């Protein structure tokens, strides 16, 4: 998130010098090469325009802190895996180290911006660490959560629905806030730059992700009912979404949500609620994550039931491993769960993905003796009993499925975990087709 965000600021504001620093020298080396550490449509072009002009990537964190007047802290805040709050709370170790480092090396007043997604009132902790400096240097801490989505990061950054800036409502806090408003106003219309107190800003990010994930779990829960009743989830989603109070976005039934943020941020919200004794509120949001786990489990069980209750020795091709289209990111991808379950059932897996195969290899490292990774989807599907579409890559819509059908073992199955294919046509070709939340089309 930090990389693309700073790239956009450098691109839109040639008058500022932007330096991105990271503790990971490999990542910095990649940012300085032609092979960037992440894939995002449009990112390469603007890095080429700005790098060396007013955008610099460096491992010199101390120097970066000393030289900068405004510091955006975008370090990772994963779910804690140990101790109190393990599996729920945000792990704040990277973030706290950064605060201490800024405190140690700063020689002049600075505006510190929380860009990472953090529990409510974290800015207060950051203020406390920063004001413990012995030199009496003044820091203003602002909350400026980032709402970009992976796969559309550049578009979202260039044309955001809104930019949110939270500050203390003191004279100094408001002055710092106005400085950050001026940075964004270089390209974002003023009416889309909204301001609030710090705590509301921090909570808005967690709430926004919880609401988005909740829509996916809501439609996925109805997809399970559709499969029992021969209703069609696309028809239901269309009818529900055309209500202007509901809206049509984020109503695609699927294998479930993934990515590094939704689950982590909801669990963080759940942990906060439990901490404040709000158990009913915590249960409500936790169920969004539970429905998501259920949806992934259900997908694999449906595959097994359809394929005569055994997957042992069957060759199954996963179309896609990234957690969504247009990214190589596989963090918390439903594909990981699905692949692991299929391996447990002793299936043979062939994984294909245009951008995520390197990450897939890392995710399945140690358990992939029966897994092959093949970038060409035709070669990947050849000789398989079934295809499972896990990522909604556009390229899968346009494949020659007659050719694929001819190369597969019969009866051939397609499980469309993203509902992106033309199911009727696949059925006519000869496939047994199992969409999400729609009647199966089968010759059996």
* Burial class, 420, CB count within 10 angstroms (exposed 0-12 / middle 13-18 / buried 19+): buried
Closest CB 24 distance from ligand NAD, rounded Å: 4
Instruction: Kindly give, in sequence order, each residue whose CB lies less than 8 Å from that of residue 29, ignoring residues fewer than 6 positions away.
Output: none
Considering only CA atoms, give the Rg of the chain: 24
Q: Rounded distance, CA 380 to CA 373, Å?
A: 8
Instruction: Kindly give, in sequence order, each residue whose CB lies less than 8 Å from that of residue 188, ignoring residues fewer than 6 positions away.
Output: 160, 163
Q: Which residues on adjacent β-strands are paired with residue 165?
A: 195
The sign of the dihedral angle between the CA atoms of 56, 59, 61, 63 is: negative
C-beta of 92 vs 111, nearer to ligand NAD: 92
C-beta of 146 vs 202, nearer to ligand NAD: 146
C-beta of 208 vs 231, nearer to ligand NAD: 208
C-beta separation of 165 from 142 below 8 A: yes
Closest CB 92 distance from ligand NAD, rounded Å: 10
Catalytic residue, chosen from 13, 103, 226, 261, is 261
**Tokens 């500050």 label which residue?**
167
DSSP letter, residue 269: H
C-beta of 162 vs 346, nearer to ligand NAD: 162
- The torsion of the CA quartet 353, 384, 387, 230, rounded to 10 degrees, works out to 180
C-beta separation of 21 from 102 below 8 A: no
C-beta separation of 441 from 433 below 8 A: yes
C-beta of 116 vs 252, nearer to ligand NAD: 116
Closest CB 259 distance from ligand NAD, rounded Å: 7
C-beta separation of 61 from 25 below 8 A: no
C-beta of 129 vs 231, nearer to ligand NAD: 129
Closest CB 177 distance from ligand NAD, rounded Å: 20
Closest CB 3 distance from ligand NAD, rounded Å: 7
Q: Rounded distance, CA 106 to CA 312, Å?
A: 60
Q: Which residues bind ligand NAD (CB under 6 A)?
A: 1-2, 21-24, 27, 61, 74-77, 94, 97-98, 116-117, 146, 148, 150, 260-261
Closest CB 334 distance from ligand NAD, rounded Å: 17
Instruction: Kindly give, in sequence order, each residue whose CB lies less than 8 Å from that of residue 70, ignoring residues fewer than 6 positions away.
Output: 110, 111, 113, 179, 180, 183
Annotated catalytic residue 261 = yes
Residues assigned a catalytic role = 261
């Amino acid at each position: 998130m930090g990389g693309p965000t700073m790239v956009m600021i450098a691109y839109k504001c040639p008058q500022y010098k932007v330096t991105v620093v990271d503790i990971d020298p490999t990542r910095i080396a990649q940012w300085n090469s032609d092979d960037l550490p992440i894939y995002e449509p449009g990112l390469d072009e603007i890095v080429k325009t700005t790098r060396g002009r007013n955008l610099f990537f460096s491992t010199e964190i101390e120097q970066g802190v000393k030289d900068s007047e405004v510091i955006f802290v975008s370090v990772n805040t994963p779910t804690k895996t140990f101790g109190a709050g393990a599996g729920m709370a945000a792990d704040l170790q990277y973030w706290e180290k950064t605060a201490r480092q800024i405190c140690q090396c700063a020689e002049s007043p600075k505006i510190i911006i929380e860009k990472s997604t953090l529990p409510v009132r974290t800015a207060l902790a950051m203020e406390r660490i920063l004001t413990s400096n012995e030199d009496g240097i003044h820091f203003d801490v602002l909350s400026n959560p980032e709402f970009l989505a992976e796969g559309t990061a550049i578009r979202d950054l260039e044309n955001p629905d809104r930019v949110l800036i939270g500050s203390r409502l003191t004279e100094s806090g408001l002055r710092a806030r106005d400085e950050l408003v001026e940075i964004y106003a270089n390209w974002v219309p003023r009416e889309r730059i909204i301001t609030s107190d710090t705590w509301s800003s921090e909570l808005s990010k967690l709430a926004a992700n919880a609401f988005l994930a909740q829509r996916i779990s809501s439609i996925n829960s109805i997809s399970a009912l559709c499969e029992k009743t021969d209703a069609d989830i696309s028809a239901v989603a269309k009818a529900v979404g055309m209500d202007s109070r509901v809206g049509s976005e984020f109503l695609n039934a699927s294998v479930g949500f993934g990515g590094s943020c939704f689950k982590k941020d909801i669990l963080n919200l759940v942990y906060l609620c439990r901490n404040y004794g709000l158990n009913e509120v915590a249960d409500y949001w936790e169920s969004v994550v539970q429905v998501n786990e259920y949806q992934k489990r259900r997908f694999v069980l449906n595959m097994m039931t359809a394929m005569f209750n055994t997957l042992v020795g069957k060759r199954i091709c996963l179309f896609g491993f990234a957690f969504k289209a247009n990214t190589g990111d596989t963090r918390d991808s439903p594909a990981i769960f699905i692949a692991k379950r299929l391996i447990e059932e002793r299936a043979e897996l062939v994984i294909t993905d245009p951008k995520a195969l390197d990450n897939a290899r890392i995710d399945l490292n140690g358990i992939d003796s029966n897994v092959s990774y093949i970038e060409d989807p035709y070669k990947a599907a050849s000789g398989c009993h079934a295809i499972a579409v896990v990522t909604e890559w556009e390229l899968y819509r346009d494949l020659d499925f007659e050719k694929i059908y001819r190369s597969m073992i019969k009866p051939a199955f397609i499980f469309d975990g993203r509902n992106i294919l033309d199911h009727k046509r696949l059925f006519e070709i000869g496939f047994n087709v199992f969409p999400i939340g729609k009647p199966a089309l089968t010759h059996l």
